[in-house]
Amino acid sequence: MEELKVILEKFAQSGWDLIAVPSKEYLEGSVTKEHLIKAIEQADRECGSCGCEFDPLYKRCIELKELL
């Protein structure tokens, strides 16, 4: 669970509203896990192979979604 929290904190600080807002809200307890997963899956579709530092984090977060 700590790994997932670190990833979500990184997303929350990314500046990209698609993942930053739902990640921050999830960490604060104000959105559902389903909402967060949808946002991360969308981010992976849009940016998951661009070569940025977040590419592997989207995939790892999706793998860990059962821990949410």
Say how many domains are in the chain.
1
Residue 54: count of CB within 10 angstroms of its CB: 21
The whole-number pLDDT of residue 48 equals: 93
* Tens digits of pLDDT across the chain (68 residues): 899 999 999 999 999 999 999 999 999 999 999 999 999 999 999 999 999 999 999 999 999 988 88
The whole-number pLDDT of residue 46 equals: 95
The sign of the dihedral angle between the CA atoms of 64, 26, 33, 44 is negative
The whole-number pLDDT of residue 50 equals: 92
Range of the domain at 8: 2-67
